Structure formats: C-alpha cells, structure tokens
Amino acid sequence: MTAGAVEPDEDTPAPPARPTVRVGAPTERRNPLSVDLDLMSTRDVLTVINEADRRVPAAVAAVLDEIATTVDLAVAALLGGHRVHYFGAGTSGRLGVLDAAELAPTFNSPRHWFCAHLAGGPDAMLRAVEDAEDDDRGGAVEAASCVRAGDLVVGLAASGRTPYVLGALGAARAKGASTVLVCANPEAEAARSVDVFIGVDTGPEVVTGSTRMKAGTAQKLVLNAFSTAVMVRLGRVYSNLMIDMVATNAKLRGRMISILVEATGCSEEISRQALTEADGDLKTALVSLVSGAEVEAARAALARSADQVRGALALLAT
C-alpha cells in the first residue's frame, strides 16, 4: 500500500455495480467484411468504409413511405400551431440538434417550430455524457414538461432501444402527441408503441457498434429529407429555390439576386431594383416580378395567402 493511502473499511459496503446491457441490434453485430480492418492498408480501409456507406441510400429508400407519413404529420402539426420535437442521445441526438439548428437560417422557419432535446443537455454536444442515454425517467420528465397534445415527437435511436428516447416517446404519447421512432434496427420492439416506425436496415457497422457511421449517416439522410420536405410542403420553397432564406452575409445576399434572376428570367439589374423596392423581402420581390404587380400589391397578396408565393400569384392572376 502506498504511503498516505487509507485502508478500506471492511464494514463499508461496496458501491453498487453499474447496470450492464448487451444489445442485440444489427448495429452491434460484427461486419464480416471488415474483420481484418486493422491489418489493411489505408486505401483498403477507406474502400471498405466507402463500400459500406453505399448501402445507406438504398436502405433509406426502402422507408420513404414511412418518412412521407411523418412529413404529413409534421405539416399538420405546424399548420395547427403545434411543434416538432427531436429526442435523441449521442450521435443520434446531435444529428437532431444539427437538423433543427439549420432550418431557421435556411428556410427562415420560426425557431420554435423544431425543438431538439439531447440526453445530457448542451454539454453532450461536445463531449459524451454516456449514462444520460440510460435515463428513461429523464427523457419522460423532459417530454412531459414541453410536449403538448397535437405536437409531433420524433425519437432518434440507432439501436431502437435507448431508454432516454423511449421514455420521452412514452410521455409524449400520454400527452396526446403523435410519435415516430427513427432507428437502424428494423426489428426494434418499440416499433409497436409508436405511430410511425422508421427502421432503416443499414446492417453491422465497419467498426462494430460505431453508430456514428452507417446508422448516423442514415439518420442524417432521413432528417434532411424529412425536414426539407416539410419546408417544401409549407411553401418555403418556390420551384427548387430557397425563398425564405435569411440573408445574413454577403454570399446569401448575392444568392437572393441569383434566385430572382433564375426564377423570373429578369436581369440582375432589374432583380436588384425589385429587391430594393421590396425592402429586401425576397418573396415580395419575386411575386412582384413574376406577376408584374406593384410591390405593395405583391405584399398584400402574400399577406392574404398566408405568405405562400404560389397562392399570392394565383390571387394576382384573377
């Protein structure tokens, strides 16, 4: 025993053993194509990873119907004055935070529309707070405190069994919210307890259990497709152009001009003038140029059509 060390008290009970769970999800199985990964050349390691990644888009394609159902639920919730929540832990939770954070600058969506909840809180964005994902009560308490009837709650869990996520989904369901689970385990038991189950079959990871790889890529693709489609359905895209973007830097201010030129066929000079007359409001300038109406008429038409460009153009065409 080293000097100064204190001998343990024989009467002091040992701390309780921390719980252990062996997960049987596909993401925890060994990938037979990468068993010699540490013996491969750098180029071969990258080839194995790349070939595995090619499976992900096809796996996502197989669940497009379920994603479409989720999009329709989200649109109905948002149009009804409700919100969309993401609940996740680890990589899954961080991807939810990323998706929610990108919607306001890309589509100028109200910040309260999409709310991301990460097990372990903000600190977990930068460092692992591993035990937080085992806290089903923590997920339930957080959901109960902020989810309302009519909201849509999307759980993100690579294995499909993360206690924090399942706790949140259970509490959300009790509140009267619609629930969705996105995971990389098509056979997850929790599929039976949600309104929509999106089980993406990405198979075993190149590095066993490292769900930041294929499972994470699949979740990123699902979330990108889901939230983008929601914004399209809500009229925040005209053709394939971002028309609700926030011009917070020189590049984005230039993009506004490019969007007007592309959408209307007008010159850059005319597009700049229209944007100036519309006080920098891209939608108003677009409706004015496409319809030929004065700026104030375009603004009024947008107000009457719930800020929908197609609707405003239809009003001005009558």
pLDDT, one tens digit per residue, over 231-281 is 999 999 999 999 987 777 888 889 999 999 999 999 999 999 999 999 999
Q: Over the stretch 136-145, which tens digit does the pLDDT of each residue have?
A: 999 999 999 9
DSSP state of 182: E
Q: Over the stretch 31-88, which tens digit does the pLDDT of each residue have?
A: 999 999 999 999 999 999 999 999 999 999 999 999 999 999 999 999 999 999 999 9
Tokens describing residue 217 = 């890529």
pTM over 0.75, yes/no = yes
pLDDT score, position 123? 86
Cα angle value 306/312/315 (rounded, 5°):
115
DSSP calls for 29-40:
S--GGGTTGGGS
Report the greatest alpha carbon distance in the chain.
Answer: 92
Q: Over the stretch 292-313, which tens digit does the pLDDT of each residue have?
A: 999 999 999 999 999 999 999 9
What are the residues whose beta carbons fall under 8 Å from the beta carbon of 213, sequence distance 6 or more?
Answer: 49, 52, 53, 205, 206, 207
pLDDT band, residue 10 (cuts 50/70/90): low
Q: Which of 28, 66, 102, 262 is the catalytic position? A: 102
pLDDT score, position 281? 92
pLDDT score, position 21? 60
Q: Where are the beta strands (DSSP E) in the chain?
A: 84-88, 114-118, 152-156, 178-183, 196-199, 237-238, 241-242
Of 202, 208, 167, the C-alpha closest to 23 is: 208
pLDDT band, residue 9 (cuts 50/70/90): low
Question: Taking residues 219-225, what's their average pLDDT?
Answer: 98
Is pLDDT at 17 greater than 60 in this prediction? Answer: no
pLDDT score, position 12? 59
pLDDT score, position 103? 95
**262 carries an active-site annotation:** no
Is pLDDT at 1 greater than 50 in this prediction? Answer: no
Is pLDDT at 130 greater than 80 in this prediction? Answer: no
**133 carries an active-site annotation:** yes
Is pLDDT at 2 greater than 50 in this prediction? Answer: no
Distance in angstroms (rounded) separating the CA atoms of residues 193 and 36 = 39
Tokens describing residue 264 = 């209307």
pLDDT band, residue 287 (cuts 50/70/90): very high
pLDDT score, position 25? 75
Distance in angstroms (rounded) separating the CA atoms of residues 140 and 118 = 13
Of 120, 116, 137, the C-alpha closest to 128 is: 120
Distance in angstroms (rounded) separating the CA atoms of residues 164 and 135 = 5
pLDDT score, position 33? 92
Q: Over the stretch 173-214, which tens digit does the pLDDT of each residue have?
A: 999 999 999 999 999 999 999 999 999 999 999 999 999 999
